[in-house]
Amino acid sequence: MSIRRVAAAATLVFCLLALASCGGGSDSGESSGSAEHGSETSNASGQVPKAVIVTASKNCAEMLREVDRVGQKAKRTAYKTVTELTTKGFAEPGLKLIKNLAKRQQQLQGEAESEAFDAYAASFDPIVVLGEQWLQAARANDTAKAERLQQLLTNLGTEQQVLASRAGLPKCSVSFFDALVRSSTS
């Protein structure tokens, strides 16, 4: 399968899933707030404790490593069609990664004691639901439905980027999509 086909398929799928999973922003590590430098415990301003930020950031870094693994595997596998590549090569494993990340981030909510972190962690739920719907539409070759869902997922990814920033999680605003494209085309 050509690099262009892989890149096109990656664009179609991970623009939906991985981009939405952690906000889809840059991985520059810049924070729009000072929560990353907060104390170990939550305070009246609602800052996320540093220990939670460290764990949540490690969770996102682990997902980034897994995204690279998915991209490399997809590159090595001989899929017969672009639909097979997008569904079996990217969307199915991508959705599993998102569900796993969502579970790990949501498990931190009690320790975070932060409305900002709660909003970020809760933002995974609609992404997972829409990702599953997108996968069904793609398998059924329902292009119109898949495109509508893609737009919704893109919008949710943008919103999640804002929520991650508000929660003091700049390392969770990486572009998993860009990482997948790099790993599947390099």
What confidence tens digit (pLDDT) does each residue in 51-104 have?
999 999 999 999 989 999 998 999 899 999 988 998 999 889 989 999 999 999
What confidence tens digit (pLDDT) does each residue in 141-161 have?
999 999 999 899 888 888 988
17: Cβ–Cβ under 8 A, 6 or more apart, which residues? 90, 91, 94, 95, 98, 127, 131, 134, 153
pTM: 0.77
Q: What is the pLDDT of residue 21?
A: 54
Q: pLDDT tier at 179 (50, 70, 90 boundaries)?
A: low
The DSSP secondary-structure symbol of 81 reads S
Is residue 25 within 8 A of residue 173, CB to CB? The reply is yes
Is residue 91 within 8 A of residue 16, CB to CB? The reply is yes
Structural domain spans, the chain: 3-185
Is residue 33 within 8 A of residue 170, CB to CB? The reply is no
The H or E element that residue 159 is part of is helix 143-166
Q: What is the pLDDT of residue 30?
A: 37
